[in-house]
Structure 1
Amino acid sequence: MSTQPRLHFYRDPGEFLAAAGDHLAADPVVSTVVTTIAHRLSSRQADGIALPDRDWWLVVRDAGGSVVGAGMRAAPFAPYPPFLLPMPDEAAVALAAALHERGEEVRAVNGALPAAERCAAELARLGGGRVQVGQHTRLHELGELVPPAPAPGRLQVATEDDLELVTDWFGAFMGDADEQAGRPRGASAHEVPDRAELLLRLRAGRLWFWVDEAGQRVHLTGANPPSFGVARVGPVYTPPAQRGRGWASNAVAEVSRLIRAEGARVCLYTDQANPTSNKIYAALGFRPVVDMANLVIVR
């Protein structure tokens, strides 16, 4: 009997959640990206919105049938990198072989280490090329919230009337994050959510401004709806002219309190190359959980 992990691919995120739900729920902070996207796309599918043919969801089982890993390929931005959760090394290598055999073009792999590294290295070996680190990220969970020094102003939920400003700030957030980490603008494999996605977030009340005493919007913080009892904060964006005034610390603290009032745990990602944001979140009480990376396969 083979002891090799078995890979099960799903096209339907709902079927994936049914198969892997217990495994994902056992470590909901680590699985936050996969579960959040799976629940979101499952809801879209239920509303009659077709998902791209390229999307897939992965469950890894051991010889006894227990789920020991998971992943997905559901990124809406090129080069559509798979996102891997922790899994045995041999499963990550087997996944690379399976994708190569399926003829899928994979030019980047994101997710938990070392699984993403193992998969990317094998893909490079099979298809030629070398692996470069696009971005090192770290997932944190909030422990005891440490209140920041108070800043003037208050949190205010964003509405549909704020769509244009929210769109602009989402785009600026991506580029500024690259610059602050010493990368060229646009280097990170992300794109601004489309209008429909941002409208859904606004209607759900999951985006907030910090407004100063004059009522000016000076900062934006977002959060995903809770998935398996965990809500992920992001983006966290302050325009350059407003930085250094405590807006971000106060906004993230307030949003974290709101999430906890819902009964959910709070997590967020940081870019390991950005010491400023890492320092801010550590001061609020966020503690590292797992290191992840965005890896690029250069041919």
Structure 2
Amino acid sequence: MDLEFFADPAAFLDAAGDLLAAEPVLGTVIGSVTERTKRELAAGIDSWAEVGAPFDRWWMVVRDEAGKAVSTAMRTAPFHPNPVFALPMADEAAVALAIALHERGESLGGVNGALPTVSVIAAETARLAGGDVTVHHHTRLWEATDVTVPPAPPGRLRRATEEDAPLVLHWFTAFHVEADVQAGREPDPTGGEHNTMDSALVRIREGVEWLWESPAGEIVHLTGRSVPAYGVSRIGPVFTPREHRGHGLASHVVGELTRAGLEAGDRMCLFTDQANPTSNKIYEALGYRPVVEMANLLIG
């Protein structure tokens, strides 16, 4: 079993495209992040340059004895501790990845993705570099093949415009803080995606950020629906400010965007934090069903 590393997202997609296409829901994060990075670089935008990470981002393909790509991982997360994201792979490959990063002198403080692979990577990293493995949070990947859309609250759904960019950027940050609070964790303002005004504008121009506007014209909710990658679109983030919660905004908007995606021929998925029973219950009621259990592990 061999590991092949890539610095260029286009070269990685050439190598891993068939694998990602075969398991597009499972590979939704790697597929969508990599395709977005490819689009940004083609447009002359390199958000990684602003991250200040002590290593170059990379993508990796695991190849079997016949040279076929059988799994992937990437380290492109622009937030501390810049965790690796890994798809399911043989324990042998997971151990080899941890060893390869250690030999490269690349300190690994976290790993995210499918269980039990991430546990193997984290345990081997801790053995090599010292430290303990702790669970930051457990996540669950869900898919909806049909959806029950709740009645619409007063107001209307519309795409975010460039004029909305400051609010969208603010709510991206607020989403991660509130997610920690709702799950009973200490809020970490540095966690989650690293967003800038440029990256928010990219998402708005792609048409993936949606807002709910009240009859009075006040914006009261945000939901994202990603550009499809390998036929899969992912819902998120989903954010309602505290003062506007309890009116069914998230349920209706997520349901409506899921319905639109399914009608367009996309497969629809989303992630939930297992420590947040409210969101798990809401999405299950809409028609989402569990696909795989994942975890975000810290090493140190």
Q: Do the two structures share a fold, i.e. TM-score over 0.5? A: yes
Q: Give the match for residue 28 of structure 1.
A: 24
Identity across aligned pairs (percent)? 53
2:22, 2:109 → 1: CA distance? 31
Q: Give the match for residue 102 of structure 1.
A: 104
2:110, 2:265 → 1: CA distance? 36
Equivalent AA in structure 2 for residue 19 of structure 1? A
1:110, 1:188 → 2: CA distance? 16
Equivalent AA in structure 1 for residue 229 of structure 2? S
Paired residues of 2:9 and 2:37 also in contact (CA < 8 A): yes
258-267 vs 173-182, which moves further: 258-267
Q: Deviations over 1:261-287 (max 9, x none)?
A: 332111100000000000000000000
1:180, 1:189 → 2: CA distance? 15
Paired residues of 1:60 and 1:69 also in contact (CA < 8 A): yes
Compute the displacement of 1:170 (Å): 1.2
2:290, 2:189 → 1: CA distance? 24
Compute the displacement of 1:187 (Å): 7.2
Q: Deviations over 1:3-32 (max 9, x none)?
A: xx2111111111110001001110100100
Equivalent AA in structure 1 for residue 191 of structure 2? A
Map 1:1-299 → 2, pairs under 5 A = 5-50=1-46, 54-186=56-188, 189-298=191-300
Compute the displacement of 1:161 (Å): 0.3
Paired residues of 2:145 and 2:267 also in contact (CA < 8 A): no
DSSP-derived class of the 1:193 partner: coil
1:285, 1:34 → 2: CA distance? 24
DSSP-derived class of the 1:97 partner: helix
2:169, 2:291 → 1: CA distance? 30
DSSP-derived class of the 2:188 partner: coil
Paired residues of 1:68 and 1:88 also in contact (CA < 8 A): no
1:66, 1:230 → 2: CA distance? 23
Paired residues of 1:178 and 1:188 also in contact (CA < 8 A): no
DSSP-derived class of the 1:117 partner: helix
Compute the displacement of 1:59 (Å): 0.3
When the two chains are superposed, the root-mean-square deviation of aligned CA atoms in Å is 1.4
Compute the displacement of 1:240 (Å): 0.5
Equivalent AA in structure 2 for residue 39 of structure 1? E
2:21, 2:99 → 1: CA distance? 28
Q: Deviations over 1:155-198 (max 9, x none)?
A: 11110101111112111111010000000111783144111110
Compute the displacement of 1:150 (Å): 3.5
Q: Give the alignment's TM-score, normalised by structure 1.
A: 0.95
2:154, 2:94 → 1: CA distance? 49
Equivalent AA in structure 2 for residue 234 of structure 1? G
Q: Give the alignment's TM-score, normalised by structure 2.
A: 0.94
Paired residues of 1:135 and 1:188 also in contact (CA < 8 A): no
Equivalent AA in structure 1 for residue 90 of structure 2? P
Query: Against the structure 1 CA distance between its residues 241 and 49, is the aligned structure 2 distance closer, same or farther, given a 3 Å change threshold?
Result: closer
Equivalent AA in structure 2 for residue 105 of structure 1? S
Q: Deviations over 1:192-221 (max 9, x none)?
A: 411111001111111111122323211110
DSSP-derived class of the 1:80 partner: coil
Compute the displacement of 1:123 (Å): 0.1
99-108 vs 215-224, which moves further: 215-224
Equivalent AA in structure 1 for residue 123 of structure 2? A
